[in-house]
Structure 1
Amino acid sequence: MTFPRIDLLVAPPDATDLVLLVHGGQESSREAAGAWRAAILRMWPFAVAARAGAPGAAVGMMRDRYRGWNGPDADPVADLRVVLDRLPARITRVQLVGHSMGGRAVVAVGNHPLVDGVLALAPWLPGGEPLVPMRGPVVFAHGTADRITSPAQTAAYARRLRASGVPVALLSVADDDHTMLRRSPDWNALVRDFAAGTTYKPSLDPDHVDQLPHSKHANNPLRGVLDIARARLTLRIVGQL
């Protein structure tokens, strides 16, 4: 049997903060979440970005037991709670960055006492998803060309959260899809700024939407693929939690 864990990619010995990257998956599967799956590889450039934004923090990659959400079992949520509950005492603050199914998972555990910020990238937030009073800055970002998860459902969840009194920053990422490759530099900048604590200010305005700034280096999916390759060559797993 496999167990959920955090693979540390950046580990300053005196770090008290952790930026935790939570990968995507699929609706149903109990196959192992292998390290070379596209959903996990896509998160590696965000480790580089998080290191740039918070150089004193540890940066870790969540490793779920399974590829799937798996209905009411919500395995990625159970896994994430397990690793948060068993973090060493020196870690006193966690920022969560999740993509797709991982975005749904970080929202679900956003009220954990260690969590101080949630960034959900192209999250999978189906209708009727339970509202969670998340802690710290809450930021949702979704590409307008996403056909895998729904930008409209993300906006609907943000409106529900705002109506409940939780401020949310909602970002529209023009012309990008679920892979987040076309505008990879812009997504990286968002993760960097989130880790640095300089991201968009959450709002209670039900319909407020910000646009993710479009850099001159965007609109090139190949650049996004090269970002993954560079990050995979630059970083390595230096420990586990």
Structure 2
Amino acid sequence: MSSPAAADGAVSGVVLVLPDGEPESARGPSAVSRAAALPLARTLARAGGRDGLVAHVVRYRGRGWNGTEAQLARDAVWAADEAVRRYGDIPVCLAGHGMGGRAALRAAGHSAVNSVLALAPWLPQDDVTAPSEPVKQLTGRQVLIVHGTNDARIDPELTYRLAERAKKTNRDTCRFEVHSDGHALRQYRAEVRALATDFVLGALFSRAFARPVADALAAPPPLGLRMPLAAGFGSLPRQRR
């Protein structure tokens, strides 16, 4: 793991940021994907510094998921183990984009993990007809999935169906849709980072969530799983309860 930022004093919570990867690859970890994950880690570390939050970008052993090996998920579990070894019994949030989002969801069963943030998580296309992604490991965790409606790489409906299955056994699951945004979630980057910050700090430190997040977690499907991310989210103080 690597730490782009660390809070002074005692550490009270950890967020492990999981970079994107590839479905199949024997190559080493991608420096480009790691660099793309750093801004989110830095944003979260700055926002949670007073609470004792530390953020790490996980260094994978390679860049491939590689079928049943689920290598990136294994690396996420290792990172959670390492966080416990370093910091003790404190809550951990797994946050990932693309294939890193899939790894975060899959590794959520680790005993230290209390929350998962999955940004445009990569899911296999056969999830439509024969769901292959497990959801049982999400039970007892707070889960936020974010997906752009114009994602040309990953069908947003795949994450909706995953969230729908997860919601049946874990009520603390919600999903936000970013209208007209693509896979990288660049068009509304500020809003996505504000949403991620609100969720991560709320989940790790029991802060009150912004009203849209609280409403999405409380709402039954499909409302809480198709919550629109409003332009300007996070810029108005009145969004908090």
TM-score interval, smaller chain: 0.7 to 0.9
Match of 1:7 among 2, 27, 44: 2
2:117 alignment counterpart: 119
Matches within 5 A, 1:105-184: 105-126=103-124, 127=127, 128=131, 129-134=133-138, 135-184=140-189
Match of 1:85 in 2: 81
The Cα shift of 1:52 comes to 3.5
Partner of 1:133, secondary structure, is helix
Counterpart for residue 47 of structure 1: 41
Q: Is the CA contact (8 Å cut-off) linking 1:25 and 1:69 kept in structure 2?
A: yes
Q: Distance in 2 between matches of 1:83 and 1:168?
A: 23
What does residue 70 of structure 2 align with?
A: 74
Q: Give every structure 1 segment of 4 or more consecutive aligned residues whose post-TM-superposition deviation is greater than 6 Å.
A: none
Deviation at 1:204, TM superposition (A): 6.0
Distance 1:162 1:136 in 2: 11
Paired residues of 2:11 and 2:87 also in contact (CA < 8 A): yes
Structure 2: which amino acid aligns with 1:176? Answer: D
1:210 is matched with which residue: 222, 227, 230?
A: 227
CA distance in 2, matches of 1:174, 1:44: 24
The one-character-per-residue Cα deviations of 1:141-197 (angstroms, maximum 9, x if unpaired) are: 100010111210000011111122443111000111111212111111112212221
Please tell me whether the aligned partners of residues 53 and 195 of structure 1 are also in contact (alpha carbons under 8 angstroms).
no
Deviation (angstroms), 1:73 = 0.5
**Which residues of structure 2 form unaligned runs of 5+?**
203-208, 234-241
The answer as to whether partners of 1:163 and 1:204 remain within 8 angstroms in 2 is: no
1:58 match: 54
Structure 1 residues 157, 112: CA separation in 2 closer, same or farther (over 3 Å shift)? same
- Aligned pair count? 209
Structure 1 residues not aligned, in runs of 5+: 1-5, 217-241
**Structure 1 length as normaliser, TM-score?**
0.81
Give aligned-pair identity as a percent. Answer: 29
- Output the CA distance in 1 between the equivalents of 2:136 and 2:59: 23
Task: Find the residue that maps to 1:43 and give its secondary structure.
Answer: helix
